[in-house]
């Protein structure tokens, strides 16, 4: 069978469409453009998935609950995160366990303060891709936005818009099982629940000191790496 090679990385492909796809990786060409916004993609399949953001279509349904998703990867991630108790990945700095390799890689940045996601328009960099997306939207007007119909504030993620609208409406569906305090988002609830717990799941990789919150260990790590003694952040 004749195989075709790219001129850049010399990867071989038996099908011309696969060769063309690989070539676009090197050239940066994105011929598939969204008709609703300015986003463009290298592959037609990626455009089809993106279009579901505008249509609201979520064809992948969880068999264990009522949640639906735009693509199969999100469904698989949901099942692993929500419906599976197995945690096979551990942090090399503090030993904390995680369900996916992606989660432990993301968590490890807390210890090193690594910021691998850089803005192509300015010198800002971020630990998380979602934070970069928010920055691009707010600072450079780039990306898909979701607008609040009440105050016209814009968000890069639909879930953030939902939480924001709950604040307008005074809806707080997330209830603490310890003190019955209510919150607009699940993140706020999880953050609050640390008040009732002595568990410290974040550890400084340099001195071994434990912390409840990632923000605290980040602040401590900076001082610890500079040789500045820090007795209490929490």
Angle (deg, nearest 10), helices 214-225 and 101-112: 50
- The separation between the first and the last C-alpha atoms of the chain, rounded to the nearest angstrom, is 64
Helices and strands, counts by H and E, the chain: 8, 16
Task: Tell me what pLDDT residue 197 has.
Answer: 80
Q: What pTM, to 2 d.p., does this model score?
A: 0.42
All domains of the chain, ordered by start, with CATH?
Answer: 4-82 (3.30.160.60)
Element (H, E) at 159: helix 158-169
Closest CA to 67 of 52, 55, 82: 82
Rounded Cα distance, 109 and 113, in Å: 5
Rounded CA gap, 230 and 221, in Å? Answer: 9
Cα 19 → chain centroid: 30
Q: What is the pLDDT of residue 11?
A: 66
Tens digit of pLDDT per residue, the chain (234 long)?
445 555 556 666 556 666 667 666 667 788 888 888 878 888 888 888 888 888 889 998 988 887 888 888 888 877 777 777 666 677 777 767 777 778 888 888 777 778 888 998 999 998 888 888 888 888 888 877 788 999 988 887 888 898 899 999 999 998 988 898 999 888 888 888 888 888 777 777 667 778 777 778 777 777 776 665 444 333
State the Cα–Cα distance between residues 148 and 132, nearest whole angstrom.
Answer: 21
pLDDT at residue 2, as a whole number? 47
Write down the pLDDT at residue 182.
93
> Are 89 and 81 within 8 A, CB to CB?
no
Q: Alpha helix (H) ranges present in 170-231?
A: 186-193, 214-225
């Amino acid at each position: 069978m004749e195989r075709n090679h790219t001129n850049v990385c010399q990867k071989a492909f038996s099908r011309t469409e696969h060769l063309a796809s690989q070539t676009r990786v090197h050239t940066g060409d994105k011929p598939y453009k969204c008709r609703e916004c300015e986003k463009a993609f290298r592959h037609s399949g990626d455009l089809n998935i993106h279009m579901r953001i505008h249509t609201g279509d979520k064809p992948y349904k969880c068999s264990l609950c009522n949640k639906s998703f735009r693509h199969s990867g999100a469904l698989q991630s949901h099942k692993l995160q929500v419906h599976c108790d197995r945690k096979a990945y551990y942090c090399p700095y503090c030993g904390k366990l995680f369900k996916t390799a992606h989660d432990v890689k993301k968590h490890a940045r807390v210890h090193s303060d690594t910021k691998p996601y850089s803005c192509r328009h300015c010198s800002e960099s971020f630990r998380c891709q979602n934070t970069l997306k928010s920055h691009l939207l707010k600072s450079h007007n780039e990306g898909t936005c979701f607008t609040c119909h009440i105050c016209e504030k814009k968000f890069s993620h639909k879930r953030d818009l939902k939480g924001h609208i709950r604040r307008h409406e005074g809806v707080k569906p997330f209830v603490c099982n310890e003190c019955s305090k209510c919150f607009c988002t699940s993140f706020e609830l999880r953050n609050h629940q640390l008040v009732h717990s002595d568990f410290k799941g974040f550890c400084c990789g340099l001195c071994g000191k434990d912390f409840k919150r990632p923000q605290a260990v980040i602040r401590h790590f900076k001082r610890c790496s500079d040789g500045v003694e820090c007795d209490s952040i929490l």
